């Protein structure tokens, strides 16, 4: 596997990194604090997407959150990023009682409070499911000064799963019969009779019913609309997982005061390319688009004035 190398826009001599341990809900999460060489007034907590991701959001040869952390720190922004609980214990995802809320919220709040000891204002930058859950964290933690939502999905996850699998089947990445299986599982999630006792084998991705019941009760856009903080929504134009057509309209309609920007060349992890995006893209080494980094920095500076 190709080793990760720093993106061209990152200057490792302009910041330092140190390990942290975040404690919440009687569980610990390893983390990294990235501090610019000159004192920073703004900090961000980075949140990875859905799945057992580490603090760098490592996927194949790429580390999108490490790209972001180093790119932001080079421009004077302090950063905390942490391993999700499932990164080191992926079996938790199949355990009864597992939810998006439990996986993200307690340690994200701990990260915000840890970073607040070093800067004046703390923002959350959440990618994919990390973007979906970011409003919930801000609603619970008043120290959050604003949100950056990167490819945050608004379609119900079980519905978007069917759409994504259909796309993958059309590109030959998965067998066509996979679509019907996901459709059947999505119907189980939609069923009013879904309960904690529903077997995970009948549900998308084998995730327990507790996960889907938690998601059914959460509306990211409505939660964000009630917040009195600035918001930036970034969307990749080539993203086939969270899309301009299927997910972005809800952010536009529900958050009329938010700043929204589409980076036309970017895929789901904000790596630029050309032509239709495919699952094979994630095996190709790349870095988060410098325009995404610059857009976040410019917005953070404007949001703190």
Give all domains of the chain, ordered by start, each with its CATH number.
Answer: 12-155+218-303 (3.40.50.1820)
Taking residues 203-230, what's their average pLDDT? 97
Question: How far apart, in whole angstroms, are the C-alpha atoms of residue 300 and residue 305?
Answer: 9
Taking residues 210-223, what's their average pLDDT? 97
**pLDDT at residue 245 above 70?**
yes
Taking residues 185-190, what's their average pLDDT? 98
Are residues 226 and 114 in contact, defined by beta-carbon separation less than 8 angstroms?
no
pLDDT at residue 41, rounded to an integer: 97
Among 95-99, 255-259, 301-305, the minimum mean pLDDT is found in 301-305
Give the chain's radius of gyration (CA, Å). Answer: 19
Taking residues 34-41, what's their average pLDDT? 96
Taking residues 236-258, what's their average pLDDT? 98
Bridge-based pairing of strands 15-24 and 27-36 is: antiparallel
Looking at every residue in the chain, the average pLDDT score rounds to 96
Question: What percentage of the chain carries pLDDT values higher than 70?
Answer: 99
pTM assigned to the model? 0.97
pLDDT at residue 305, rounded to an integer: 65
pLDDT at residue 286, rounded to an integer: 97
Count CB-CB contacts under 10 A for residue 222: 11
Question: How far apart, in whole angstroms, are the C-alpha atoms of residue 15 and residue 293?
Answer: 16
Question: How far apart, in whole angstroms, are the C-alpha atoms of residue 77 and residue 285?
Answer: 25
Taking residues 87-107, what's their average pLDDT? 92
Taking residues 66-73, what's their average pLDDT? 98
pLDDT at residue 168, rounded to an integer: 96
| Predicted confidence band of residue 96 (pLDDT cuts 50, 70, 90) | confident
pLDDT at residue 88, rounded to an integer: 87
Taking residues 180-184, what's their average pLDDT? 97
Are residues 211 and 100 in contact, defined by beta-carbon separation less than 8 angstroms?
yes
């Amino acid at each position: 596997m190709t080793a990760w190398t720093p993106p061209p826009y990152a200057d490792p001599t302009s910041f330092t990194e140190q390990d942290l341990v975040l404690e919440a809900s009687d569980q610990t999460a390893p983390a990294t604090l990235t501090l610019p060489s000159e004192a920073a007034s703004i900090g961000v907590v980075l949140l990875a997407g859905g799945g057992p991701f580490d603090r760098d959001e490592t996927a194949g040869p790429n580390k999108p959150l490490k790209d972001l952390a180093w790119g932001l720190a080079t421009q004077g922004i302090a950063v905390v990023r942490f391993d999700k609980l499932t990164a080191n214990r992926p079996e938790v995802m199949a355990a009864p009682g597992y939810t998006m809320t439990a996986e993200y919220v307690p340690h994200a709040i701990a990260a915000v409070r840890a970073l607040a000891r070093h800067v004046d204002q703390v923002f959350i930058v959440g990618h994919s499911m990390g973007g979906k859950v970011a409003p919930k964290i801000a609603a619970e933690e008043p120290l959050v000064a604003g949100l950056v939502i990167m490819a945050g999905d608004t379609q119900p996850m079980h519905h978007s799963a069917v759409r994504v699998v259909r796309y993958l089947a059309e590109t030959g990445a998965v067998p066509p019969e996979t679509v019907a299986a996901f459709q059947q599982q999505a119907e189980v999630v939609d069923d009013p009779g879904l309960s904690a006792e529903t077997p995970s084998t009948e549900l998308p991705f084998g995730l327990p019913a507790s996960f889907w019941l938690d998601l059914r009760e959460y509306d990211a856009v409505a939660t964000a609309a009630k917040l009195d903080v600035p918001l930036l929504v970034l969307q990749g134009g080539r993203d086939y997982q969270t899309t301009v057509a299927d997910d972005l309209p809800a952010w536009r309609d529900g958050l009329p005061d938010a700043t929204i920007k589409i980076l036309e060349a970017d895929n789901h992890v904000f790596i630029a390319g050309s032509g239709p995006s495919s699952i094979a893209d994630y095996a190709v080494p790349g870095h988060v688009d410098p325009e995404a980094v610059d857009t976040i920095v410019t917005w953070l500076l404007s949001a703190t004035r």
